Amino acid sequence: MTPRSTTVAVVGAGPAGLVLAHVLRRAGVAVTVHERLSRPALENAARAGVLEHRVVEYLRTLGLADRLTAEGERHGRCEIACLGEKVLVDYGALSGGIRHWVYPQQLLVRDLIAAYERDGGAIAFESPVEAVTLDDANRPVLHTAGGELRAEYAVGCDGAHSVVAAAFADRADGPTRRYPYDWLTVLARISRPVDKIRYAVHADGFAGMMPRTADVGRFYLEVPAGEELAAWDERRIRAELAHRLELEGSDPALGGLLETGMLRMRGRVAHRMREGRLLLAGDAAHTVTPSGAKGLNSAVADAADLAGGLIAELLGGGSARLDGYQQRRLDAAWQTQEFSDRLLDLLHLPAGLPAEQREFALRLRLQRIHRIARPGPEATEFARAYAGAGELAAAPVWPSAQAAAVASAATAR
């Protein structure tokens, strides 16, 4: 039975919602988590797979990265192909040792769910929140099939169509950009692991090859904006990947195509991430393209920041940290959008560029590629931003006796 009241109601059990719930619950804050998908659907949804250094270090401090660091792979190099050259960018060296971890998002979600349940938490799967309203005291009321749930705070970690964002007076609207191309996405069996990301800047359109697991890779193909997947049969997909990525015998060979899709390329940042006791994190507040692999990482960074603010507010540490959450995270969201947009500009030729002008545009891009591959300020800045240098602030840990007392009192409201 869904509790009639809680302290923090988290909507969405993706990485942001799960990390937020973990930290709050460990601090003694009563939390409920509602997820619209079934557990199998959530745990098997193949999405991101590249984790920033700072995100993994944060998860490690929480004891949530054991399997990730045991089974995940460290990556510190990528390759950018252009005009027949394959330029190696050793961003691990250029950043001073900061590297990515490659670990599929669905495995991370499984780990977070299992750890949350081991700690005594529970997640309401297949329990969508239908609407969020405010009571007379401006406290959130979540409307679900199991009845009303009253909370001190409601946090939307439920994606671009967030029901929590819909409760904002302006629906958390903000500026958007529709890019003049889309990406066809492919999840495929491969003959051996992808040892480094390959970006291909090509006259016929961008292509990408990304690591996932030992026998599965993620591939991307630039296609015209609005293109339908039906226009691309398997033979055409394979031919274009081989052509644009310049696949050779030493590269992983594609086996069966496990999944294909069409990614509509958009960027969006909400004007606000807080309205009173309603808060947003991750895609509910900002949508970023896969360029640079920042979506999952930005979502966890939001959750880490918000957890600290809520804990301070609820457990006597003052309101300053929570009051600053919105501005800090909006600033970070725009920095992320700028990095992703800059990388997209490098990887794609201008839309509608005549064929006779494409070599000129490619040669300009090749010069930029060489600059971020050679030691220097521009390469260092790119490498650190790409790999996720820095750290996420860990929330304070309260004594267990105090945490238990706070949780009991909150649940009894």
Give the model's pLDDT for residue 8.
98
14: its two tokens: 């993706």
Give the model's pLDDT for residue 410.
34
* 57 Rama sector, left if φ>0, alpha if ψ -120 to 50, beta otherwise: alpha
CB contact at 8 A, 154 and 140: yes
State the Cα–Cα distance between residues 229 and 146, nearest whole angstrom. Answer: 38
CB contact at 8 A, 319 and 313: yes
Give the model's pLDDT for residue 236.
98
State the Cα–Cα distance between residues 299 and 297, nearest whole angstrom. Answer: 5
Give the model's pLDDT for residue 402.
39
Class of the CATH-defined domain 5-73+101-176+267-350+393-411 = alpha beta
Strands 274-275 and 278-280: antiparallel
Counting Cα atoms < 13 Å in the Cβ hemisphere of 275 gives: 20
Give the model's pLDDT for residue 78.
97
Output the pTM of the full model. 0.92
Regions of the chain short of the pLDDT cut 70: 1-3, 396-413
Residues 6+ apart with CB under 8 A from 242: none
Give the model's pLDDT for residue 395.
73
Listed by start position, the domains of the chain span 5-73+101-176+267-350+393-411
Number of helices (H), then strands (E), in the chain: 13, 19
Query: What's the helix, strand, coil split of the chain in %, to 5?
Result: 40, 25, 35
Give the model's pLDDT for residue 396.
65
Counting Cα atoms < 13 Å in the Cβ hemisphere of 26 gives: 21
| Cα 249 from chain centre | 33
State the amino acid at position 83 in one-letter form: L
- 76-123 residue pLDDT tens: 999 999 999 999 999 999 999 999 999 999 999 999 999 999 999 999
State the Cα–Cα distance between residues 338 and 349, nearest whole angstrom. Answer: 18
- How crowded is residue 253: how many other Cβ atoms within 10 Å of its Cβ? 12
